[in-house]
Structure 1
Amino acid sequence: MRLQRRLRAGIATILLMATGSSFALNTATIISSTLSPDCLEYRVTGICYWLFCTQFGCSVRTSVKVRHYIPDAVVSSYANTGENPWIEVRAMSAPNTTAQGGGDGTTNHDNENNLAKFRNADVIGHPGGYVFSQFASASGYICEGAGTAFMPYLLSTLDTIAWRYNIPEAVYPEALIPGLREIGARTSLNLWGAVYPRGGFLHQVDDHKASAVVAQRAGDIVTRRGQLHVYQPLLANSRDGYWPAGALVENDASTGKWQELTPRLSNTCAVFPHSEPLTQAQQGDYAWALWRPYSCCQRRGQTFLGSVDF
């Protein structure tokens, strides 16, 4: 078992080092990124109790309750419409009659440092499910995620009214009142941007931070039901012995965390904002894997009696 774990860790290190400096993001690179113990964060959290009955009587059985993160989706945030940095899925978000242009605004002033930036965003099911399952199973029993590989959960080119015109979220209280739903904090002088309105436009000097804010907005949409956007919810339903991830909340790692895929492939996960070095993309295209927390325990009876956390 120890030899297998060392072998997997060695393979993960080699793959991450080999792809870390590449600006081209492909499916193979994304799959290799799932071999990250830091992002997985596997731990035993408690015990589940099950009532097991046969024709000879009933007994109470137990199973271990575990919690770990799962890479549910790849969230791309990019400037030029139709140029998703994930090459194999680029055709999903091709320009159309309502979504063609992209990029940043300009005032033609050399001293301007507060340009309006625009980013498209795509949320697509992470393709690394099988490799991740093999890697995570070495730690013990594993949970099922909500994402389906290559499934488009949000394509901003199909969400034109909400994404490009901020209708109706431009008049939401979260968009009008400073301090509500912000990534970072004004008091710490580390404010990356506001979650609302959840569209493609924002003002941010740093290109990387602007794209991260847009990625957070896209993740915020797909992890909630009933939003006024064109999307599919990236959520699973709870059941006996299974507690899926809920709504993604900014600044809160217990609801989800991000692994940078491009322009720099990272083997760790973090929330926005973070203190890690920010690499600027040459073409304004960025992508992250969205890891979400799940808890579960193995079914060992017909009736779930409850669980106790350590």
Structure 2
Amino acid sequence: MSRVRCRTLSVLLIMIPTPCFSLTTQAIISSVNSLRCLEYRVVGICYWLLCTPFGCTVRTSPKVRHFIPELVVSSYSDTGANPWLEMSPLSTPVPGSEGGGNLMTPSPRRDNLPRFKNVDAIGHPGGLALTALAQRFGYSCPTGATPLTPYYLSTLDPLGWRHGIPESVYPQALEPGVREIGNQALGEMWGNVYPREGLLVQPDDFKAAAVMAQRASDFITRMGQPHVYLSLQPMPYDGYWPPLPVMENDVSNHRWQLLYPQLQSTCAVFPGPAIQSDDGAYAWSLWRPYRCCQRMGQTFLFSIDFDGGH
């Protein structure tokens, strides 16, 4: 083949569009194999009372802590365009929840550009893969989330998500400096948690999407909130300590793993590096810390923590 033909072929190959990354269930399951997100640790000792016909004895088991990916939280502009391909049919437009995207205002300043994002929060499908990964280190904690269960679909919550009713008049929404994602003093405040709705004045698309994901996770992990959702607040029992509700900026309480537009193997809280999506769609895994110990008797006595329980 001549040099001219080779050069022509090279140009044509460059001009051929390469397929974009698609977020599939299999890709999400594979994403749990991250030791940096798992962060498995032995944090204490549990004491159990074991009784048999021959008497009773006290037995112990290690108390472990590791993070678990509970939800896949998608934040996207166009209604029905959830980047998780298999789950996108769940978010098709319904009466009262049509349309979406940025609301262009007369002002030419981008700082005055309200952005709207739909949010879907669906049970993470990687539970079995995560259990296998955690059991390489010892005992693993069960997740409190049900795989593939829709915990929140913003299209079914038009009053709360599209109109901010009633949270737009909450004190947390009206008082500056309350429940902020980031830090004003450091110049990296991305937005307020309240009102927990889909609209935000934020010039950066990634940051706006992240704020929406944080807002949704805030009420999903609490009970009795004024939204249409399924609460994810696992109850503790002997030898099992599920996480507290999500609190912004707290790396010990929860972490986010970016899945789309780029699949990352690290976890962190917001704020962080912003990676822009061409289609206005983003998705994260929400990881939260669980503590547990293997049952070694009929009665749980108590536990001690090496790290003070934090």
TM-score scaled by structure 2?
Answer: 0.91
After TM superposition, list the pairs within 5 Å mapping 1:288-303 onto structure 2.
288-303=284-299
Q: Which amino acid aligns with 1:189?
A: G
Question: Could you tell me which of 68, 71, 90 is aligned with 1:70?
Answer: 68
- Residue identity over aligned pairs, in percent, reads 56
What is the distance in 1 between the residues matched to 2:238 and 2:20? 43
Match of 1:204 in 2: 202
Q: Which amino acid aligns with 1:32?
A: S
Q: How far did residue 234 of structure 1 move? A: 1.1
Match of 2:227 in 1: 229
Q: For the aligned residues, what is the CA RMSD?
A: 1.1
Match of 2:134 in 1: 136
Match of 2:282 in 1: 286
Residue aligned with 2:279, SS: coil
Match of 1:116 in 2: 114
Q: Which amino acid aligns with 1:269?
A: C
After TM superposition, list the pairs within 5 Å mapping 1:1-310 onto structure 2.
22-274=20-272, 276=273, 278-310=274-306
Match of 2:9 in 1: none
What is the distance in 1 between the residues matched to 2:235 and 2:105? 48
What is the distance in 1 between the residues matched to 2:205 and 2:218? 20
Q: For structure 2, which runs of at least 5 residues remain unmatched after alignment?
A: 1-18
| Structure-2 change in CA distance of 1:180 and 1:304 (3 Å) | same
**Segments ≥4 residues shifted beyond 3 Å:** 108-113
What is the distance in 2 between the residues matched to 1:129 and 1:282? 30
Q: How far did residue 108 of structure 1 move? A: 4.8
Q: Which amino acid aligns with 1:161?
A: L
1:22–1:264 CA contact under 8 A, matched in 2 = no
What is the distance in 2 between the residues matched to 1:149 and 1:273? 27
TM-score scaled by structure 1?
Answer: 0.91
Residue aligned with 1:60, SS: strand
Between structure 1 and structure 2, the one with the greater Rg is 2
What is the distance in 2 between the residues matched to 1:191 and 1:69? 26
Q: How far did residue 235 of structure 1 move? A: 1.8
Residue aligned with 1:210, SS: helix
Q: Which amino acid aligns with 2:82?
A: N
2:105–2:112 CA contact under 8 A, matched in 1 = no
Q: How far did residue 111 of structure 1 move? A: 4.2
When the two structures are aligned, how many residues end up with a matched partner? 288
Q: For structure 1, which runs of at least 5 residues remain unmatched after alignment?
A: 1-20
2:111–2:201 CA contact under 8 A, matched in 1 = no
2:258–2:283 CA contact under 8 A, matched in 1 = yes
What is the distance in 2 between the residues matched to 1:296 and 1:253? 20
